[in-house]
Amino acid sequence: MTDKLKGRDSSLVVSSSSGGLFNGFFISKKNCTFDKASLVDGRARRVFDMVTRACEAEVYPYQLPLTGRSGPMVQAEGRQMLMLSSYDYLGLIGDPRIDDAAVDAIRKYGTGTGGVRLLTGTIDLHHQMEKELAVFKGMAHAVTFSSGYLANLAVVSALLAPQDRVLLDSLSHRSLVDACRLAGVTLRRFAHNDPASLRRELESCPPSGRTLIVADGVFSMDGDICRLPELIALKKEFGCYLMIDEAHASGVLGTTGRGTDEHYGVAATDVDIWTGSLAKAIPSNGGFVAVSQEIGIYLQHVAAPFIFSAALCPAAVAAVRATLEILKSEPERVKRLRENASFLRSGLRDLGYDTGNSQTPVIPVILGDEAKTTIFAGRLRDLGIVVTPVIFPAVAQGSARLRICVTAAHTRQHLESAL
């Protein structure tokens, strides 16, 4: 099995019957076949070869279709399985208060808004939600987008020009790299969570153009937290700007879940731009940017993802608003999340697993070898535990891992059974 996964020949040889391996994963057509001539470059062939070998070894770990809602226990493959890879950090998927708010919004507004936000797609719920998000993040203004990925693209592409530069933590999210490419700005990386490395980059920056420092609040593959106070100090010392992606920090860090600023006790306004997800601790869809009023209005009229993407649907907006209300009234969810993460992380370390520098509900189990990691995930799935393997290029070569995500809805029994 390991040999199948490690196959050294990157050429693709697919028999006419091999397409059946993929039924249920990508397409619904039965007895499908794949034309290798349509895979025009080496990269495509390597990807297809990797997926083929994983399916042949019966350890293909992705796109598991659930037959009900997500939660600590899920229904898949005709059985109940323990979910340890969900972003539902606060355990709010399926909360009746959120579901009822979404249903009520559909009944009042319908399933869509019929336009983009700048033209005819804005409803009053959008404005109410954005005001509440701004308050939640301690900023003057918030703008929402179709995803957190697009929120990051919107900021960098709209606010920066080719003469500007981004200094990016080396483990920041892929969307931030893509945003820099789209904007045509100079991208320079500093060593992960290393203020001294960032200082060296700042000292070498030319005087022309603007400099934006970018990092994640919680790093999505490692679960550690950015050193925000030191980033703020460097931003002020060098007269540049600072952007923090809160996708895995909102609803997670701080006593009330407000994020990295609350975790450290710093002023939210010391950061120029906050971005985040509305599809993780907040169980909805979309992404947000929390900024000054001037930047917010500018983004609404210049950022392509705001102008050319459909507005968030009424149900999603209502779900965000209901979640923010629950966060205000039930901060104990954040405390329970933190306790669950600490329990599982300590248990894994006691068993001898390498969990890196995780400080949050994102807990990597670093195994190194990609084949071993994929097989390990498959074995856990056989045992009824859903854990996602993460391999290159999502992480560096040689650092393949299982990425565990703990939620507030996990019971101690769930976590003990996993250990």
Q: What is the Rg, in whole angstroms, of the alpha carbon atoms belonging to the chain?
A: 22
pLDDT value for 5: 39
Residue ranges and CATH numbers for the domains of the chain are 2-56 (no CATH), 73-89+331-418 (3.90.1150.10), 96-329 (3.40.640.10)
Mean pLDDT across the chain: 90
- Arithmetic mean of pLDDT, 328-356: 97
Angle between helices 174-183 and 148-159 (to 10 degrees): 30
| pLDDT band with cut points at 50, 70 and 90 for residue 21 | very low
Tell me how far apart the terminal alpha carbons of the chain are, to the nearest angstrom: 25
Measured CA to CA, the distance from residue 185 to residue 254 in angstroms comes to 33
pLDDT above 70 coverage of the chain, percent: 90
For residues 256 and 262, the answer to whether their CB atoms sit within 8 Å is yes
pLDDT of residue 39: 55
Contact 288, 276 (CB under 8 A): yes
Peptide bond connecting 162 to the previous residue in cis, omega within 30 degrees of 0: no
pLDDT of 359 higher than 80? yes
Q: Which of 258, 411, 278 is nearest to 334 (CA)?
A: 258
pLDDT bin (cut points 50, 70, 90) of residue 40 is low
Quick one: pLDDT at residue 23? 46
Give pLDDT, residue 394: 86
In this structure, of 87-101, 170-184, 206-220, 316-330, the range with the lowest mean pLDDT score is: 170-184
Helix (H) or strand (E) holding 54: helix 42-56
- What's the pLDDT score for residue 51? 81
Is the pLDDT at 9 greater than 70? The verdict is no
Mean pLDDT of 11-36: 41
**Euclidean distance between CA atoms 108 and 105, whole angstroms:** 5
Phi, psi (deg, nearest 5) at residue 385: -120, 125
The model's confidence at residue 152, banded by pLDDT at 50, 70 and 90, is very high
Q: Which of 34-43, 158-167, 285-294 has the lowest mean pLDDT?
A: 34-43
Burial class (CB in 10 A: 0-12, 13-18, 19+), 22: middle
pLDDT band (50, 70, 90) for residue 46 = confident
Does the pLDDT at position 11 exceed 70?
no
Q: Is the pLDDT of residue 389 over 80?
A: yes
Q: Are 241 and 212 in contact (CB under 8 A)?
A: yes
- Look at residue 337 and tell me whether its pLDDT is greater than 50: yes
For the segment 400-415, what is each residue's pLDDT rounded down to a tens digit? 999 999 999 999 999 9
Full strand arrangement of the beta sheet holding 186-190:
141-145, 287-291, 273-277, 241-245, 211-216, 165-169, 186-190
pLDDT tens-digit series, residues 370-380: 989 988 998 99
Q: Quick one: tokens of 387?
A: 């854990």
Contacts of 141 (CB under 8 A, 6+ apart): 130, 134, 290, 291, 292, 293, 295, 296, 297
Q: What is the pLDDT of residue 123?
A: 98
Q: What pLDDT does 54 receive?
A: 79
* Residue 18 pLDDT: 41
pLDDT tens digit string along 83-142? 999 999 999 999 999 999 999 999 999 999 999 999 999 999 999 999 999 999 999 999
pLDDT of 77 above 50: yes
